[in-house]
């Protein structure tokens, strides 16, 4: 008799612990999302983008598939913030992020690197494909109307591009793409 009661107690404890583990696993998934997703736009943040970039670098080293990174800078965000307020600036970031996501393949990764900067990871893309994508995105953002309180505000982006190479680190790739973006701005 006593054995039957202690067996029920053990089963109840096991059920309780399984429920607790499930709750902790769900919380870990939630915290991972908070650590790797941007709080304003529905994109990976810098940490999440770098994690994806590291996976692509590993795949490149193993299989040799070409890949590129585009470093995107939203021009004039300070002017939007100063003239129309930070809500308008946030709306501009949301608007541009949606255009970037809509302008690339579903398999590509768009992330917000911070402030007015975005990264785009183009997996299985050679240099000409990456350059074509960059040019198309510049035209897309410039061609889409952005309104704040009925006022049309022109938006534009500058993009730097780099190919991922064997032996690269995520930081090295991002730094090259960032430098390419600033070189492009200086040349314009």
Sign of CA dihedral 146, 148, 152, 153: negative
Among candidate residues 116, 123, 168, 178, the one labeled active-site is 116
Based on the fold, state whether residues 23 and 89 are members of the same structural domain.
Answer: no
Summarised one tens digit per residue, pLDDT across range 61-100 is 999 999 999 999 999 999 999 999 999 999 999 999 999 9
| Cβ contacts of 74 within 8 Å, gap of 6 or more | 92, 93, 96, 116, 117, 118, 155, 157
SS3 98: helix
Based on the fold, state whether residues 16 and 50 are members of the same structural domain.
Answer: no
Q: What pLDDT sits at residue 67?
A: 97
Total tally of structural domains belonging to the chain: 2
Based on the fold, state whether residues 26 and 79 are members of the same structural domain.
Answer: no
Based on the fold, state whether residues 18 and 96 are members of the same structural domain.
Answer: no
Summarised one tens digit per residue, pLDDT across range 89-131 is 999 999 999 999 999 999 999 999 999 999 999 999 999 999 9
- Band of the pLDDT at 32, cuts 50, 70, 90? low
This prediction has a pTM of: 0.83
**Residue 67 is part of which domain span?**
46-187
Based on the fold, state whether residues 62 and 80 are members of the same structural domain.
Answer: yes
Q: Please report whether residue 100 resides in a domain.
A: yes
Based on the fold, state whether residues 24 and 56 are members of the same structural domain.
Answer: no
Q: Please report whether residue 41 resides in a domain.
A: no
CA atoms of 124 and 107, how far apart (whole Å): 9
* Residues above pLDDT 70, as percent of the chain: 91
Nearest CA to 157 among 109, 97, 111, 110? 97
CA atoms of 152 and 88, how far apart (whole Å): 12
Q: What pLDDT sits at residue 17?
A: 75
Based on the fold, state whether residues 172 and 128 are members of the same structural domain.
Answer: yes
Residue 126: active-site member: no
């Amino acid at each position: 008799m006593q054995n039957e009661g202690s067996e029920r107690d053990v089963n109840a404890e096991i059920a309780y612990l399984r429920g607790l583990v499930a709750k902790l696993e769900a919380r870990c998934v939630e915290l991972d999302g908070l650590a790797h997703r941007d709080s304003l736009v529905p994109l990976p943040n810098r940490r999440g983008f770098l994690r994806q970039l590291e996976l692509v670098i590993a795949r490149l080293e193993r299989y040799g598939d070409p890949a590129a990174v585009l470093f995107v800078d939203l021009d004039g965000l300070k002017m939007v913030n100063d003239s129309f307020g930070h809500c308008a600036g946030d709306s501009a970031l949301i608007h541009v992020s949606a255009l970037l996501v809509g302008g690339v393949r579903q398999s590509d990764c768009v992330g917000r690197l911070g402030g007015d900067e975005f990264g785009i990871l183009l997996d299985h893309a050679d240099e000409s494909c990456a350059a074509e994508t960059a040019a198309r995105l510049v035209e897309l953002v410039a061609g889409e109307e952005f309104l704040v309180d009925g006022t049309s505000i022109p938006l534009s982006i500058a993009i730097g591009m780099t190919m991922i190479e064997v032996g690269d680190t995520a930081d090295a790739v991002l730094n090259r793409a960032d430098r390419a973006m600033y070189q492009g701005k200086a040349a314009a």
